[in-house]
Structure 1
Amino acid sequence: MILVNALLLGVETSPWMRSEYGAVLHAADTAVLWVFVVELGLRMFAHRRDFFRDPWSWFDMAVVGIALLPATGPFAVLRILRVLRVLRLLSVIPSLRHVVTGLFRALPGMASISFLVALLLYVAAVMSTNLFRETSPQNFGDLFTSLFTLFQIMTGDSWGEIARGVMHEQPLAWIFFVMFILASTFIALNLFIAVAVQALEHEGDERRAAGGEVDTLVLTEVRALRAEIAELRAEVGRPTVKDSS
């Protein structure tokens, strides 16, 4: 149903489909939404208080609740948030849940790296503003313009054109741009990937450890049951005093 909902939301972006089958699409979209509502109600009834202890249950409630808001008046802009219902795939597919959990665990490390990148951008923006203000005022005319330009360079978007425009007047400007690219793109951004991968590996290790504990408990229970069965068989097969006489 989540995939059907995603397909309907994509089809509704076509003006022709809305004009030809608008009523049908709206009815189907409403039906899917109420299926989600009924499903949440059944889960609340089945799990009782445990339903509200699961963060993913709150996530599902928020996504479906946004879709239930009226699409007219001041809430009309919230209609586009219906597409968030597609994100419910994150809560129903276990592998996606583990990936998202791992990324959330990586947030503290990513926050430190983000501060490092922000510090690097600020220092580079001050330097580039003082160095290239006269040469390229459209890119380095003031601090905020320099920050945006350096962020664009960090993403690799047309940084060669910006650098060559400055190098036309200042040939040694390549030193600054090469050093900034190395520090921001090849070092800082790769640190984000390293932290995310480490968090995902840690999440996978915990999953395997939890699975191992479950297997150990199951084996312990099976051995205990076998011992009890063996004792019962021994009791049944043991002759009584009357029989022996």
Structure 2
Amino acid sequence: MSKLSNQQIQDLFFKLRSNKAFEMFVIGVIVFSALMVGAKTYDIPPTLLKITHLLDWLITFIFLTEISVRFMGEPRKRDFFKNAWNVFDTVIVLVSIIPIDNSEMAVIGRLVRIFRVLRMISIIPELRTLLNSLLKALPQLGYVMLMMFIIFYIYAAVGSTFFEKVDPFLWGDISISMLTLFRVMTFEDWTDIMYDTMEVYPMSWVYYFTFICLTAFAFLNMVIGIVVSTLDEEHKQQDAERAEAEGEPSLKDLQQQISELKSLIENKKI
């Protein structure tokens, strides 16, 4: 009877944590927590400051309750902390409980409360998908960034060699030149820089034109393409996992069945 009762309690917590209304409530609390962090950056009356302090503890209590509900609703408790997001949420909530507002660790306490906004990612699946896609794309993005650094370095060396006398503030050495080129790539008043150098080197527009074509157009579009491709693969993987969980045939299984049917048809023809 006791086991049945425990199972019923676990099922109740599982249904509660899977409830959309519960998720929306938690998201609303996270948004309100973010607004509270922003409100504390203004000069507010002492009375209102006390109210925000009480609300902050109320938010922490709600987060602690929400973590407890998710943990109690986990079918296998030991699997709860195998999820990195669960570990992140638990650490953020537990550190928020420590009363360090009036101590030397007050800055850490404020930082932890700011990071509570990141819990939005762990709550909303679409945000988790975006972040996972970005992390999976990092190896490929690393090579693109390396190539961009090489281009930056070469153009910065050329720019520092030719344009240092034109404007030492922008082209004084290779590091400053790379910052100037970053400004050119982001189109932040880059024409002013180009016109200054064109007064001394009329053909210097070729330098800026080729640099912008390589970085702002070519390499940045490659970065976008890699992220979009990885995001598409992540969606396909999630669809396959969802189909497997629901007992439906995945795309891979369907392709295998089609190939088997084709081979049977060809064998019959032979």
Q: Tell me, yes or no, whether TM beats 0.5.
A: yes
Amino acid at match of 2:201: Q
* Aligned: 1:28 with 2:55: yes
Pick from 89, 99, 109 the counterpart of residue 60 of structure 1: 89
Cα distance in 1, alignment partners of residues 235 and 227 from structure 2: 12
How far off is 1:29 after superposition?
A: 0.8
**Structure 2 vs 1, CA of residues 213 and 80 (structure 1 numbering), >3 Å: closer, same or farther?**
closer
* Aligned: 1:4 with 2:35: no
**Structure 2 vs 1, CA of residues 157 and 44 (structure 1 numbering), >3 Å: closer, same or farther?**
same
Partner of 2:242 in structure 1?
Answer: 211
Structure 1 counterpart SS, 2:247: helix
How far off is 1:24 after superposition?
A: 0.3
Cα distance in 2, alignment partners of residues 140 and 211 from structure 1: 55
| Gaps in structure 1 of 5+ consecutive residues | 219-245
Pick from 37, 40, 59 the counterpart of residue 67 of structure 2: 40
**Structure 2 vs 1, CA of residues 111 and 74 (structure 1 numbering), >3 Å: closer, same or farther?**
farther
* Aligned: 1:193 with 2:221: no
Cα distance in 2, alignment partners of residues 188 and 74 from structure 1: 46
**Structure 2 vs 1, CA of residues 11 and 196 (structure 1 numbering), >3 Å: closer, same or farther?**
same
Cα distance in 2, alignment partners of residues 82 and 153 from structure 1: 37
Partner of 1:51 in structure 2?
Answer: 80
How far off is 1:7 after superposition?
A: 2.2
Cα distance in 1, alignment partners of residues 80 and 58 from structure 2: 24
Pick from 213, 218, 229 the counterpart of residue 182 of structure 1: 213
Cα distance in 2, alignment partners of residues 61 and 171 from structure 1: 61
CA contact (8 A) 1:102 1:196 kept: yes
Provide TM-score, normalisation by structure 2: 0.74
Matches within 5 A, 1:1-245: 1-16=29-44, 18-47=45-74, 48-68=77-97, 70-78=100-108, 79-216=110-247
Cα distance in 2, alignment partners of residues 114 and 68 from structure 1: 41
**Structure 2 vs 1, CA of residues 15 and 50 (structure 1 numbering), >3 Å: closer, same or farther?**
same
Structure 1 counterpart SS, 2:213: helix
Cα distance in 2, alignment partners of residues 204 and 210 from structure 1: 10
Identical pairs, percent: 29
**Structure 2 vs 1, CA of residues 81 and 139 (structure 1 numbering), >3 Å: closer, same or farther?**
farther
Cα distance in 1, alignment partners of residues 178 and 102 from structure 2: 39
The answer to which of 58-67 and 105-114 deviates more is 58-67
Which structure has the larger Rg?
1
1:40-98, CA deviations, whole angstroms, 9 ceiling, x for partnerless residues?
24434443211111111122134334544523444233214422111111111111111
Amino acid at match of 1:190: N
Cα distance in 2, alignment partners of residues 181 and 66 from structure 1: 46
| Gaps in structure 2 of 5+ consecutive residues | 1-28, 250-270
Two-structure CA RMSD over aligned residues (Å):
2.0
Cα distance in 2, alignment partners of residues 10 and 43 from structure 1: 28
**Structure 2 vs 1, CA of residues 31 and 165 (structure 1 numbering), >3 Å: closer, same or farther?**
same
How far off is 1:210 after superposition?
A: 2.0
Provide TM-score, normalisation by structure 1: 0.81
